[in-house]
Chains A and B, each alone.
Chain A
């Protein structure tokens, strides 16, 4: 982890990378480097497109994502771009209705992991000493657990409770219960790396002169954490966030594939692929049921990974 992106780093950084005559702030430089990275820009545009389609297609499509029609297993055509499924539903509409849920789970799960990871890492790194030791040992232990096994056990067991609570509050919310659970559950298993990264950064920032100066001026811990340390870890947090989103999307589709995620008739990309895989038979090959959702999932993950790589290079010019 390089620290050259930190604004307070002083002249050494400016001399090492800046050849422009105009003085730019580190953030502006990061932005320029990102704009010069074509794959990252194309990826960002692609992600924006998928998000637009995920919002727009289910609203505007002439077909219904949930209710079936008579044309079952129609191959891709002008009327049905990705064909139709076993109930005669338009796969194109369903794919983007599914992408909407997948992206939502990815985004919210990432936010949950962000909050836990950043808080955990900042506290451990800033307080230091025995607290740090204890908190990081805890992370080590969680790292050693087979997370997928635990997620499966957690989802199958705790879901009953969550459902009871939610139906107690309002029965109408019951279908959303599984989704809420996915948000929290996936976020709760994905924060470990974030905590480690943030802690490492905070640890090195804590002993920097500008933090010491602020301390000697009598700034409170909260002020130092939120005004001096947090702005400096944001770069690396953003980079890691872009890489967490695809990981959570993948996790969710994996669980949905196993039947533990989003429940029908709602669908995420994972459930759509599972439905496609269930239709595999030696007599007729319904390839479009897998290729459509599979391509959207793979390309979205690819774009997110490219964007993450591009952001990393932009924030840290020495890494590539």
Chain B
């Protein structure tokens, strides 16, 4: 338990380092959020914009303001903390989507991205575990051959190829599913498959490998010698150890699913947060980029921690210190 507490505590400085890095990186880079092909109406407007978003201050002062640790003089002459900032849970105003705070935008998109991620996660497991189990049991037969080839094939076809093909086949030609957007359950099917197929292939391979190894162990021979039925041997004795690699993979997998859905969200026009990641880094939406990087970093760190925790609970041989 001590180990996990320490890791939990360590997450705080790590997140801070990542956020700091992102903060300075986007601001130092050439170009700014208000550079367009057409210049703003007048220098005065430009100045007013910069002043409103505090872009006219020094980098250090901006950073302190972002953290919420900046002290400034009020017109009255007394010293007070500048409002907002990270300590108050405020990520600031988006520079691109005016009058929206970064927190608002994230809170709007995050549930959608999370739903899509978890659906794809479920799909990957629902596809990978049975297929891996089947191919391991039928090892050497044509069923194994076809199943394994399929698993390798879907690993090698990126989501941005599968997505458009699914749209062409199942939405435009067959007309079974809507082409895009989000809301109705049917609209979630194609994005879920496009996002989850790759991970389904990975889970298949892991399950197959785990199952094959488990079936070669001594305790399986013992179980068979005791006269356990084949079904019992497979399900009760071999399967629990065979899924351990899948458990340890599910952490990175979930993180990848939640953070890596840019393309699928883009293809199916899903209003998640993935779309913002690329757009805001391209348009130098400083506050958005920093907010999203922080979100992704926290998600990833928490997920990794949860998986390690689950792993130590499931497998008593695993000890962290």
Contact = CB atoms under 8 A, between A and B. Distances in A.
B168 interface: yes
A153 B22 contact: yes
Given A258-B266, A285-B168, A301-B156, A157 B161 contact: no
A157 B155 contact: no
Interface string A169-207: 000000000000000000000000000000000000000
A294 B156 contact: no
A143 to B, nearest CB: 9
Nearest to A300: B156
Interface string B270-314: 000000011001100000010011001101110010000000000
A294 B300 contact: no
Interface string B150-186: 0011011110110111011000110000010000000
Given A258-B263, A294-B161, A305 B281 contact: no
A285 B30 contact: no
Interface stretch (A56-64, A90-98, A122-130, A274-282): A274-282
A121 to B, nearest CB: 21
A149 B26 contact: no
B161 A280 contact: no
From A146, A164, A246, residue with most partner B Cβ within 10 Å: A146
B79 interface: no
Contacts, number: 118
Interface in A282-308: 282, 285, 287, 290-291, 294, 297-299, 301-302, 305-306
B29 interface: yes
Contacts of A253: 158, 160
A294 B29 contact: no
B297 A273 contact: no
A153 B156 CA distance: 26
B284 to A, nearest CB: 8
Given A154-B25, A157-B28, A158-B29, A149 B259 contact: yes
B156 A298 contact: yes
A156 interface: yes
Contact of A153 (B155, B255, B293): B293
Interface string B60-76: 00000000000000000
Nearest to B293: A149
B6 to A, nearest CB: 13
B165 A257 contact: no
A158 B30 CA distance: 8
B168 A146 contact: no
Contacts of B293: 146, 149-150, 153
Contacts of A81: none
A226 interface: no
A16 to B, nearest CB: 17
Given A148-B260, A152-B277, A305-B152, A160 B29 contact: yes
A109 B14 CA distance: 28
Contacts of B173: 285
Contact of B25 (A157, A164, A274): A157
A132 B62 CA distance: 37
Nearest to A274: B160
B267 interface: yes
B297 A145 contact: yes
Contacts of B277: 149, 152
Nearest to B290: A153
Interface residues of A, number: 43
B240 interface: no
B156 A282 contact: no
B300 A145 contact: yes
A297 B158 contact: yes
A285 B86 CA distance: 49
A287 B156 contact: no
A157 B281 contact: yes
B301 A144 contact: yes
Given A146-B259, A153-B281, A160 B30 contact: yes
B300 A290 contact: no
Interface string B97-132: 000000000000000000000000000000000000
Contact of B168 (A250, A257, A290, A306): A290
A309 to B, nearest CB: 9
Given A145-B297, A290-B165, A164 B30 contact: yes
Contacts of A161: 29-30
A211 interface: no
B22 to A, nearest CB: 6
Contact of B164 (A250, A259, A290): A290
B164 A277 contact: yes
Contacts of B179: 282
B262 interface: yes
21 contacts: A144-B300, A146-B297, A148-B262, A158-B29, A161-B30, A246-B156, A250-B158, A254-B160, A254-B263, A259-B282, A260-B282, A270-B160, A273-B160, A273-B161, A273-B164, A280-B168, A282-B179, A298-B157, A299-B156, A301-B156, A305-B152
